[in-house]
Amino acid sequence: MAQQLITLTLFFIALFALQTALFTYLLLKLKKSVKSIEKPPIIKERRYEFEEISESVLRILRELRSSGPLSAREISKRLGLSREHTARTLKKMVEEGFLIREGKPYRYKVTELGSEVLRSHDITG
């Protein structure tokens, strides 16, 4: 009887450990999925001064306007920019609401705000 109780206890301990591992795995997978859901950019009520828009930002906006959605790697290659500079600039452009990123790998696309900035700069610049 005592042996059966010990065996049963060990079985339930193993089952509990397996269940905990499975739930941990599923929770981490869910967390990763939630992070990948894009939040729409917050359109700021700020008007941009033309001096604030860097040449790299304008080049990226123009390239995406003419080519359509591209990955960071494609943008980097087409414009001859380093991967690091391209990644930093794209991150900032998404945060500013100039671009949205979609899919995996991410492909960047110009937003209405990005088009507006580009139109304004092309008219005056």
Of 101, 102, 104, 98, the C-alpha closest to 116 is 98
**Same domain as 109, residue 63:** yes
**Same domain as 33, residue 55:** no
Backbone dihedral angles phi then psi of residue 30, each to the nearest 5 degrees:
-65, -40
Question: How many percent of the chain have pLDDT more than 70?
Answer: 83
> Which has the minimum average pLDDT: 4-18, 19-33, 88-102?
19-33
Residue at token pair 């599923």: 26
**Same domain as 84, residue 59:** yes
The number of domains in the chain is 2
Does the reported pTM lie above 0.85? Answer: no
**Same domain as 120, residue 73:** yes
pLDDT digits (tens, 9 = 90+) for 73-86: 999 999 999 999 99
**Same domain as 54, residue 25:** no
Of 53, 39, 81, the C-alpha closest to 70 is 81
Computed over every residue of the chain, the mean pLDDT equals 85
Structural domain harbouring 26: 1-37
**Same domain as 14, residue 55:** no
What does the pLDDT read at residue 28? 86
